[in-house]
Amino acid sequence: MSLRQAAHRLTVSSRGPGLIDITADIAGWLDGLRPETGLLTVFCRHTSASLVIQENADPSVQRDLARALARLAPENAGYEHDTEGPDDMPAHIKAALTQTSLSIPVVGGAMALGTWQGVYLFEHRRAPHRREIALHYIGA
């Protein structure tokens, strides 16, 4: 069995803070590769947005998670770094508390996510942004 690699960049437009389900976009790219078994790396190329694997069935989970992070990193808390406004430093803190990179096993040609799991871009800024996600697959 020989290993192969593939890479891709996915652009995601946000409308402001919240979670954006990117599972189908990633799965679509992966399906085109016709993978068998391997490892998929998903990487967010930003410092004020992040990635999470979260429940995809009940949207209240996402709202509660966003509210919890807002309590942990509130705006106007006297941060030194406020170059881009009052949501700038809180966005960096929220990104540091979550992830910028995910490793997802690929088994039987698909991401080995649990029944209620989805892959999300977590936008932490108020203004709309275009975020870039790097994908890398290695496997058979």
**Beta-strand relationship, 101-107 and 110-111:** antiparallel
Place of tokens 């992830």: 99
Angle between helices 88-97 and 59-72 (to 10 degrees): 120
pLDDT band at 7 (very low <50, low <70, confident <90, very high): very high
SS3 59: helix
Q: Which two tokens stand for residue 5?
A: 């690699």
**pLDDT, position 1:** 73
Query: 79-102 pLDDT, tens per residue?
Result: 999 889 999 999 999 999 999 999
pLDDT(74) > 90: yes
Q: pTM of this prediction?
A: 0.95
Residue type, 108: G
> pLDDT tens, 24-73?
999 999 999 999 999 999 999 999 999 999 999 999 999 999 999 999 99
Q: Which domains, and CATH codes, for the chain?
A: 4-139 (2.60.120.460)
Instruction: Look up residue 88 and give its DSSP letter.
Output: H
